[in-house]
Amino acid sequence: MVNHQELSSLIWNVCDDVLRGLFKPHEYGDIILPFVVLRRLDCVIEPKKDEAFRLYEEFKGKIDDPSPIIKNQLQTQFFNHSKYDLSRLKQDPKNIYLNFQNYINGFSKNVYDIIENFQIQKPVEKLNKNNKLFLFVEKFTGIDLHPGVVDNHAMGQIFEELLRRFSEMSNETSGEHYTPRDIVHLLVALLFAESKSDLLGEGKIRSLFDPCCGTGGLLTIGKKWVLDNVNPDIEIRLSGQELNPQTYSICKSDMLISGENPDSIKLGSSLSEDGFQGEKFEYMMTNPPFGVSWKSEEEFITEEARNPNGRFFVGTPRTSDGSLLFLQHMISKMEPNGSRIGIIFNGSPLFTGDAGSGESEIRKWIIENDWLECIVQLPDSLFFNTGITTYIWIVNNKKKEHRKGKVQLISAAELFKPMKKSLGSKRKEVSDDQINLIVKTYSDFTETDICKIFPNTFFGYTKVTVEQPLFENGIPVRDKKGNIKPDSSLRDNERISLGTDIEEYFNREVKPHLPNAYMDRTKDSRGYEINFTKYFYKYKPLRSLDEITNDLLELEKESEGLMKEILK
């Protein structure tokens, strides 16, 4: 099999030769990606190309849609009934634009939907007007993308490498990223680590869903992991939804080529255009965009949040970061008999929002329902477009007995190896041995230097409002009912851990300092947050005064020597 980085560089270089000066670099993806898909499709259907044309010509005037007959006769999910593929288009350079239209229109409907979402008409017209269409087609026909040469795993990596380059050139935000394969492998291993009993056995069928599926890497690698490591005979049904038309088309074409059901990949926002309404899945995982606003979908989401049966009824996060909305969406699709979710977040969902806020209410809902099983802190600089620290959450609505009522935290921030060559912001990667260590730590469920286990209540607190009387001329002011009025300028709050006696805490911690203070318990609210830094903090003793003095004296000696050299 070919090296995916070498082949993606080859594709880039041959295309750059044609496109330079005609398209801006950030526009390259609009034309390169669909042609990679077309070439891949051509390589797959080439052996049956002539037979597809013959069958179509035979039946096109006899029945309205010959497609079912052609698919049945050729034992294929897709075909092209025109005379052309990219190689054959070269045979008639003068009519290449007309023949190209004929070629595109010759694809079966399921492929035409993929091509249509690439919206290649305008860039193809531009190539043609500048006499570059023939040359561009010719360049692509020299690249062999047959699955026997480039398997689906490598093809996915090629797409993601090309997409990474395009995103860098178009200065996309850190939220617009693609999941590196080392993180995919870790997420997949964690998701399925404790599910072998559920996955073993004959005739098993299980579902795997990704609401932000991108090019489909999580889905295909997830399925492969189960087949390779647990049960080669299980049927894993893949489903996904993707907002970006380009990546949707790539994912759908990959499903088509690999024999999956392409109709199980939907286009649109999972939040406001749920393509799987009412459906449930046993396994779900995703890497939603980090810190991306949901302002454009605010009306729909706010309306659904008012519905007691809606996905977002317990609360909504601030509009600047919709990460937790995707987790709520996935929770709504959990099977009552048990589902597992793996999701990648930045740090924001752990602690953003005070008690009573949307974020805190979502955390409270998840933890008090005993769904949060584990959170793994990852190293920073793992992603192509951002250097931030990220976290994997494992959510499970059917925990094993020994995990019930508890949350496991794993600090894997130091488990990485530096990359020989950075890829954008990605300077670190997690090795296979480190992935195995993290998964073993998770499965062992025993406290170590990098693993802590807490009861659910550990993360909760009661936010209590502390008031002080409003005084005038040294006398407390009272309202019409005779109650003492609070001085709003002196109002404060105390966070008191769940399980702590609030009255006792108040008398011990507040009263000695503020003798006139009192609590307004009608304003109590309960919140939840998770603070990795605090739980895994390791005290480093300060250096002694003697050590610091000696270092300063050494520096002084060095500087004197340097001055003497300068003044010679």
**Any domain includes 51:** yes
**Any domain includes 407:** yes
HEC assignment per residue over 23-79: ECHHHHHHHHHHHHHHHHHHHHHHHHHHHHHHHHHHHCCCCCCCHHHHHHHHCCCCC
The residue from 454, 471, 496 where one domain ends is: 454
End-to-end CA distance of the chain: 65
| 500 and 447 inside one domain | no
Please provide the average confidence, as pLDDT, over all residues in the chain: 90
| 250 and 146 inside one domain | no
| 241 and 358 inside one domain | yes
| 409 and 424 inside one domain | yes
The domain in which residue 471 lies consists of 459-533
HEC assignment per residue over 140-204: HHCCCCCCCCCCHHHHHHHHHHHHHHHHHHCCCCCCCCCCCHHHHHHHHHHHHCCCHHHHCCCCC
**Any domain includes 560:** yes
> Is the per-residue pLDDT at 177 higher than 80?
no
**Any domain includes 97:** yes
| 497 and 563 inside one domain | no
For residues 52 and 421, give the distance between their C-alpha atoms in angstroms, rounded to a whole number.
46
H/E element, 356: none
| 390 and 421 inside one domain | yes
Looking at residue 174, its pLDDT comes to 38
Please give the DSSP secondary-structure letter assigned to residue 121. Answer: H
Looking at residue 290, its pLDDT comes to 83
Q: Which of 480, 191, 219 minimizes the C-alpha distance to 341?
A: 191
The residue from 164, 193, 228 where one domain ends is: 164
Looking at residue 159, its pLDDT comes to 85
pLDDT > 70 in the chain, percent: 95
| 518 and 429 inside one domain | no
For 529-566, the pLDDT digits (tens) are 999 989 998 777 777 787 778 878 877 776 666 555 55
- For residues 411 and 159, the answer to whether their CB atoms sit within 8 Å is no
The residue from 136, 164, 192 where one domain ends is: 164
498: confidence class by pLDDT, cuts 50, 70, 90: very high
Report, as an integer, the average pLDDT of 366-387.
93
**Any domain includes 293:** yes
| 200 and 287 inside one domain | yes
- Cα separations in angstroms, 538 against 109, 221, 408, 550: 60, 36, 19, 26
H/E element, 242: strand 235-242
> Is the per-residue pLDDT at 221 higher than 90?
yes
Question: Lowest-pLDDT range, 323-327, 377-381, 467-471, 554-558?
Answer: 554-558
Domains of the chain: total: 4
More confident position, 143 or 238:
238
275: confidence class by pLDDT, cuts 50, 70, 90: very high
For residues 4 and 222, give the distance between their C-alpha atoms in angstroms, rounded to a whole number.
20
For residues 244 and 269, give the distance between their C-alpha atoms in angstroms, rounded to a whole number.
9
More confident position, 16 or 468:
468
| 348 and 496 inside one domain | no
For 332-347, the pLDDT digits (tens) are 999 999 999 999 999 9
Report, as an integer, the average pLDDT of 379-398.
92
**Any domain includes 538:** no
H/E element, 266: strand 265-267
How many CB atoms lie under 10 A from the CB of residue 452?
16
> Is the per-residue pLDDT at 567 higher than 60?
no
Against a cut of 0.75, is the pTM above it?
yes
| 135 and 245 inside one domain | no
| 349 and 465 inside one domain | no
Looking at residue 173, its pLDDT comes to 46
| 101 and 188 inside one domain | no
The domain that contains 205 carries what CATH number?
3.40.50.150
Report, as an integer, the average pLDDT of 218-225.
94
Long-range contacts of 485-491 (CB under 8 A, 24+ apart): 486/520, 491/465, 491/466, 491/467
For 74-84, the pLDDT digits (tens) are 999 899 999 99
